[in-house]
Structures are given as structure tokens and as C-alpha cells.
Amino acid sequence: MNTPKILRTIATAALMVAVAVGCASKSEAEDTTLRVLYWNFQNGMWSDEPNGYNNFAAWVRRYDPDVCIWCEAQTIYKPYTNEACAPEERYLVANWDKLAAKYGHTYWAIGGHRDNYPQVITSKLPIEVVSQIVGEEPDSVVTHGAGHFRVEFNGKKVNIVTLHTWPQKYAYRAKDKEASAAENGGDKYRLKEMEYICKNTIEKVADADKEYWLMAGDYNSRSRVDNHFYKWAEDDTRFLVHDYIRENTPYIDIIAERFPGEFHTTIAGKSRIDFIYCTAPLYERIVDAYVVNDAYTKDPVRDEKTNFHFPSDHLPILVDYEMK
């Protein structure tokens, strides 16, 4: 049985349904609405590379975002395998201009990164790269990097911070991984990353709470506001990252604020680890926000051979801001 072929046929059929069932694209009358789309699309959209990314691009065009934020934005593995690509074989990140053009974006930029998991931002609008963040040796390394970008929409400047924190239970560079995991080393290391990212972006700007800021990414951490679902102990270290954000920055958790008391998973399992935060002036302009759970993205299918998913193991998040 050719499992990858069956899975990609299912994914293609799902896309056709997604495009056919209602149109989520913006109308011409909404030209003052800034639409931001975020997604950790897994291994450089590994699931659609053999199709020339055509299914993926059609899906993005359906939503017609002004700005996209992509985690895991580099080609890592050969199609439908977990065999690593040689650097010269990787389509992304070198060809992001071509991929972005497929869905109508002219501009793209990459965050700082040390490994194979950078974030990329693409846009219809020119992108100012404010900083590419990689942290500092020896103990403040931001493993997958982060970025601070700025776009201007309808005369208003919007700061965009992208991130993807350390994913393991043990700390980065732990000598004894088992012991580190037992001490919740991964959670504590993610807190270090978050502190560094915030202190080098929003926390160093006076009156940032009066400006337009958003921060999006794969946090690999859970939020205490979802504990009505998790039912964990109050001192659970998996809450450290979002506790820091809530206590030390002016950011608002968009999905939690708009859907109080509800739980919206962002991965194939039942966890919310992908977030978009924004400051109050930007939050007040939100007209729509949701985790995208359409025919293309919902119910990711796991490939047993590689343990990867079609189309991704994460779900996207979309936010509309009225910028009149």
C-alpha cells in the first residue's frame, strides 16, 4: 500500500472541499482590514512539496491574508520521508520569494535562527526587519530564533514578533537529558527564551502598551487560562512561559480573550501551544479571530512511517484587525 500517496490524495480532496465550501477571502470593501495568518506548517510544508506547494498556495489564497507568519519555514526532509535533505537540495528558505508569489505576496523576511526551524514572514506590504534574534551564549540561546518586524498598513505601523521555542522536555544542551526532564528543564528553558525575546522586543520600548504590537508563534507551552481544560496543579511548570507574558508585558491572549471559558486546541492532540498575542490598541481593532479548523487543516492525518502529519500537526490562527 502506498500510504503517502493515499494521504496526499486525501489532503488534496480536503483542499478542494475547503475551497468549495464558502469563501473566506476578503472583499474589496474590506481593504482597511489587516488580515494576519499564522501557522506552524511542519517541516517547510513537507506534505505539499511534491505538488509544487500548489495545494498549500490555493489554501492561502482562499483566506487572502495581508501578512503571513510561518513556523518551521525551512525544507528539512526529502518528500514523504524523514531522511534529511542535503543543504543544496532544500527548496526553502532560498525560494520563499517564489512560494510567497504563488499566493500573492511580494515581500518576505526571515527571523534569526540557529537551526533548521526558522520563522518566515511574508506580506503584501513592505517588511522592515527590526531585529533577528538568536539569544546569547552560553545560557540565553534562543534555540529556533525569533524575529521583530514592522509593517505599515493604512498609515499605521504594526510591530510583529515571531518565535518558536525549544520543544523538548529536557533543557537545551542538557548533559543528562533524563535528569533534566525529570526536573522540568525544558519548561524552565522555554521561560529563559521568552524572557530574552520579550526583553529584547516589547519590554525595551517605552509606551509599547500604547502602540500596535503582536507576537505569534509556536510556544511549546500551555497557558494557565486553559487550566479549566487541563486541570493541572497550580504550580505546574508548563505554565511558566505564559505566566511570564501575562505578568510582565502588555500583551493580550487573543483567542482566550475572545472565547472566555472555551478551549481551542492548536495541535493534533488536545493542547493549545500556538498563540497570537497583541497589545490593547490592536486588540480593540479585532473584528474576527479564530483557530482555522477547515476541511484542509482539521483532523491532521499522521503518517506512521515518518510520524509527520498531512498537512501539519498544528492548526493555523487567523486574526482580522479593522485599521480605519
- Mean per-residue pLDDT for 238-261? 98
Enter the pTM of the model. 0.93
Which residue segments constitute the domains of the chain, with CATH numbers given?
A: 3-10+31-322 (3.60.10.10)
- Mean per-residue pLDDT for 101-108? 98
* pLDDT band for position 20 (cuts 50, 70, 90): very low
CA distance 165 to 121: 17
Residue 2 has a pLDDT of 54
Share of the chain above pLDDT 90, in %: 89
Strand order in the sheet with 252-253: 128-136, 140-153, 156-164, 212-218, 274-278, 252-253
C-alpha separations of 131 from 40, 113, 122, 135 in Å: 21, 12, 16, 11
* pLDDT band for position 242 (cuts 50, 70, 90): very high
pLDDT in tens, 182-227: 999 999 999 999 999 999 999 999 999 999 999 999 999 999 999 9
* Pick from 224, 244, 219: nearest CA to 234: 224
- Mean per-residue pLDDT for 253-271? 96
Beta bridge partners of 160: 149, 214
pLDDT in tens, 144-165: 999 999 999 999 999 999 999 9
Helix axes 3-20, 54-63, angle to 10 degrees: 20
For residue 279, how many other CB atoms are within 10 A of its CB? 21
For residue 236, how many other CB atoms are within 10 A of its CB? 14
* pLDDT band for position 4 (cuts 50, 70, 90): low
